[in-house]
Amino acid sequence: MRTYVQTLERKCQEMQAEISTFKEEFSMLQSKGLPSLLTSNGRLLTHEQYAHMVNTYVSNQITASSSSSENIGLPSGQVLYDRIREFVLH
């Protein structure tokens, strides 16, 4: 039982560290212009609404930063993740 509790505590600490890292990266993205998760009256956006806002935002960022790039078009999946990650790191 003791080993189980220790394992559970370790997993909780690992999850908390990952949550903290996510919060930091998400805050950094929002400070660079990524849309908020909340509406103007403080309610949480639906997944579809937020996905549309993010796709529009990323599309605009890609168009603005690389108008002569080969990868013009709407990003999706891994490409979207890579572009956002690249944007955060720079």
- Count other C-beta atoms under 10 Å from residue 58's C-beta: 19
| Inside any domain, residue 53 | yes
Q: Return the pLDDT at 79.
A: 72
Look at residue 66 in the predicted model and tell me its pLDDT. 65
Same structural domain, 49 and 88: yes
Q: Does residue 86 contact residue 77 with C-beta atoms inside 8 Å?
A: no
Indicate the number of domains in the chain: 2
User: Does 25 score more than 60 pLDDT?
Assistant: yes
Are 54 and 19 in the same domain?
no
Q: CB-based contacts of 54: which residues, under 8 Å, 6+ apart?
A: 34, 35
Same domain, 24 and 57: no
Mean pLDDT (the chain) is 81
More confident site: 87 or 44: 44
Q: Find the mean pLDDT for residues 36-64.
A: 85
Examine the domain organization and report whether 57 and 20 are in the same domain: no
Residue 2 confidence (pLDDT): 92
Q: Which long-range contacts (CB under 8 A, 24 or more apart) does 6-12 make?
A: none
Position 37 in a domain? no
Are 53 and 21 in a shared domain? no
pTM of the predicted model over 0.85: no
Q: Find the domain containing 25 and state its range.
A: 1-32
8-state DSSP, 74: -
